[in-house]
Amino acid sequence: MKAIEGGVTAAKGYKAAGTSAGIKKNGTMDMALIVSEVPCVAAGTFTTNVVKAAPVKWDQDIVYNHPYAQAIICNSGVANACTGAEGYGYCKQTAEAAAKILGIAADSVLVASTGVIGQQIPIDKITAGVEKLAPMVLPTLEGGTLAAQAIMTTDTVKKEVAVMVEIGGKEVTIGGCCKGSGMIHPNMCTMLGFVTTDIDITKELLQKALSASIRDTFNMVSVDGDTSTNDTVLLLANGMAGNEKITEENDDYRKFCDALNEVNTWLAKAIAGDGEGATALFEVKIVGAESKEQAVTLAKSVVTSNLTKAAIYGHDANWGRILCAMGYSGAQFDPEKVDLFFESEAGKLQIIENGVACDYSEEEATRILSEPAVTALADIKMGDATATAWGCDLTYEYVKINADYRS
């Protein structure tokens, strides 16, 4: 497996474009189109929020009930959430407009939105945007980059990645882009991820590979613990790599899963490190757990602890907060067996041994915690299960961003 340039257009047969359809007040790009030359099997994972945006419901119907998908149309600026039947109708109109100009079926067009909750989307601007985008799509890396930029709200950097892996003697490519929660306008906290691949695989195994990968990647990211109404990750596979079709969980399947994890992990960490107002990527690793579930519960509890995140911002080795967050996570463990380490480019330092503070240097700890990516590693000595969660520090900027009026 090797990393290569590009994103959603890195794999064979995909084209993409981004443009400004006038949805965002500031005139920046706010619509993206990703389209495959041929129909794809599609997999998706969606927000668990009881309050689901209209596009989530539209995509769930396509992913769960239709054999193929061929295009993804995405707008930023308005989330089309809490918009009732009218909002769902706009998803249908958007898909129909794209289907017509692309010459494909409306029920093969996935839609996604991110932005302010509770407003109806400006459907005329959306359909005009679709007609503008269709002739613009490019098979080049540039096309993918434009799409990656167009779905940004106020992420500070575009997020795209691609890898190539040889499967059954063929070069298979997986590329993706995503947007996270570097946001100025409140409510734009949606996480969207679009991943494309040219592998030939059954729809069932594609979904299985995505669902398994999401558990350890996108689902382990937390910027503020607020699960959006729009969170969506879509994975399209168009089979153009020409590999022998994957129909069972064989070595080829496992190779694909590893490559998919590579892409999703990169995208997930990119979202965490670019969290609202973040100055640091905060990684929490739990090792020695008796079950995966226990490790996940502990890792997520620490990575979402406001007190811990504020301490990371302060470069403060405030280990008591980490043990405290593990303690209220709901998972059972023996605090007096916990070893805790801080780790970064600047080094690794043990802070606690068996639940009690080591005689460590606060200065060295602060030096380690002053890097742009820091890790807290806790060993609870109960078994072999591990989990890693990614978040960011809690900063003045986070509050400033989210206290601002919607504009």
Active site residues: 190
Nearest to 356 by CA among 320, 303, 305: 320
Of 217 and 294, the one with the shorter C-beta distance to its own copies is 294
For 271, residues 6+ apart whose C-beta sits below 8 A from its C-beta are 159, 178, 179, 180, 181, 191, 218, 221, 223, 390
Task: Tell me the closest approach of the beta carbon of residue 304 to its own copies, in angstroms.
Answer: 8
Of 31 and 380, the one with the shorter C-beta distance to its own copies is 380
Task: Tell me the closest approach of the beta carbon of residue 57 to its own copies, in angstroms.
Answer: 12
Two tokens at 38?
Answer: 């041929």
- Structural contact between residues 147 and 33, judged by C-beta atoms closer than 8 angstroms: yes
Of 228 and 243, the one with the shorter C-beta distance to its own copies is 228
Of 268 and 311, the one with the shorter C-beta distance to its own copies is 311
Reduce the DSSP state of residue 199 to 3 states and report it. Answer: coil
Nearest to 310 by CA among 277, 267, 355, 286: 277
Task: Tell me the closest approach of the beta carbon of residue 399 to its own copies, in angstroms.
Answer: 5
Half-sphere exposure of 380 (CA within 13 A, CB side): 28
Nearest to 219 by CA among 397, 406, 388: 388
Nearest to 180 by CA among 199, 145, 152, 216: 152
Nearest to 20 by CA among 142, 139, 149: 149
Q: Please name the residue that has the structure tokens 């706009």.
A: 90
- The binding site for its own copies (CB under 8 A) comprises 48-52, 79, 81-84, 116-119, 186-187, 189, 224-229, 305-307, 310-311, 313-314, 316, 318-321, 323-328, 331-333, 335-336, 352, 355-357, 394-396, 398-406
Of 136 and 310, the one with the shorter C-beta distance to its own copies is 310
Task: Tell me the closest approach of the beta carbon of residue 49 to its own copies, in angstroms.
Answer: 4
Distance, CA of 348 to CA of 365 (rounded, Å): 9
Task: Tell me the closest approach of the beta carbon of residue 264 to its own copies, in angstroms.
Answer: 21
CB atoms within 10 A of CB 208: 16
